[in-house]
Amino acid sequence: MEKADPKLELRRLVFDYPKGVRAVDGFDVSLRSGEIVCLCGPNGSGKSTVLKLASGLLEPTEGEVRIDGIPLASLSKRERARLLASVPQRLEALGQSTVLSFVLGGRYARSSFLERALGGVSHQELERVEEALAETDAAELKERRLVELSGGQCQRVLVARALFQRASVLLFDEPTAMLDPAHQVQVFRLIASARDGGRSALVATHDLNLAGHFADRILLLQEGRVRALGAPGEILRPEVLGPIYGPDLHFQRLGERVLVVPWPVDAPG
Ligand code: ADP
Ligand code: MG
């Protein structure tokens, strides 16, 4: 059941790319404050498109996005940046900027026009950037240029920037896709601590197990439609995942929970 005061509402979203590709078809979900919803589904099922609609990067063909009950379309760029932080799958143009200045760029949402005009960075702000970088294990990268980073390092810096922005809704597009196992867990821990601080997060991910552990709800997307939405225990089951991912999944009990691993159905043993 969804509460009466949702933080982020994605209402009956439909999105057609040019040339008639319907990527999202009647997507409807609301996130409460302090809730993590993981968005899972096969490649091309529409996860990134849903996140771009939620952040306002794309405008829905039909339907509406609301934050705190206010239509996203009626908010200024600055207001959006204050409410929403988005972690894309990758940066389109990496540029020559340093990690430190890139993460500081997240303050655009917070600083006043005067502060920006003066170009000053307060001591407190610098401290907060360092904090966000330390939290994502990226402190030693601060003087490096974005173009010099590995995919996983870059992903951690993107997460640091979103945390620094302190928006109340966080949108992540496969934030752990390029990370080693320890950093995958670390990024999910950071998302969970943001949730515990009252923020909401919509996280596209293929990591069903970390989603199962950290998410409040998992949403399964297939061909732009919501196929299932529920608590992890309701979703991570052969009868729910099988029709979407096929037979190459192995389900293993671990105490109260079930782990799901990709595994050839015809493997011996
Ligand atoms: P996912 O993130 O789940 O892999 P996407 O949202 O990227 O899925 O893509 C959903 C569908 O939209 C796919 O069929 C994809 O090919 C199509 N699509 C994505 N981006 C574009 C685009 N810029 N132009 C046309 N079709 C696109
Ligand atoms: Mg994607």
The verdict on residue 97 lying in a domain is no
Closest Cα to atom 24, ligand 1: which residue? 17
Of all residues in the chain, the percent with pLDDT exceeding 90 is: 76
Angle at 55 between CA 181 and CA 95, to 5 degrees: 65
Distance CA 72, CA 67 (A): 6
Q: Is residue 114 part of a domain?
A: no
Residue 50 backbone dihedrals phi, psi, to 5 degrees: -60, -45
Kindly tell me if the per-residue pLDDT of 65 is higher than 70: yes
Mean pLDDT of 121-146: 90
Residue 238 reports pLDDT greater than 70: yes
14, 25, 38, 49: which to mutate for ligand 1, most atoms within 8 A of CB? 49
Mean pLDDT value across residues 161-171: 92
Residue 63 burial class via C-beta count within 10 angstroms: exposed 0-12, middle 13-18, buried 19 and up: middle
Question: Predicted confidence band at 1 (pLDDT cuts at 50, 70, 90)?
Answer: very low
Residue with CA closest to ligand 1 atom 21: 17
Per-residue pLDDT at 93 exceeds 80:
no
The mean pLDDT of 228-257, rounded to a whole number, is 96
Residue 232 lies in a domain: yes
Amino acid 94: pLDDT: 65
pLDDT digits (tens, 9 = 90+) for 243-255: 999 999 999 999 9
Q: Is the CB of 49 under 6 A from ligand 1?
A: yes
Residue 157 forms part of a structural domain: no
The answer to whether position 248 is within a domain reads: yes
**Quick check: 4 pLDDT over 80?**
no
5 CA to middle of ligand 2, Å?
A: 29
Residue 5 scores a pLDDT above 90: no
- Domain count within the chain: 1
Instruction: Evaluate whether residue 149 is within a structural domain.
Output: no
Host H or E run for residue 128: helix 123-135
pLDDT at 2: 45
Parallel, antiparallel, or unpaired: how do β-strands 36-40 and 200-204 relate?
parallel
pLDDT at 206: 98
Parent domain of 183: 8-92+167-261
- For residue 143, the model assigns a pLDDT of 93
Residues with Cβ within 8 Å of residue 143, at least 6 apart in sequence: 98, 99, 100
Tell me what the mean pLDDT of segment 45-57 comes to: 97
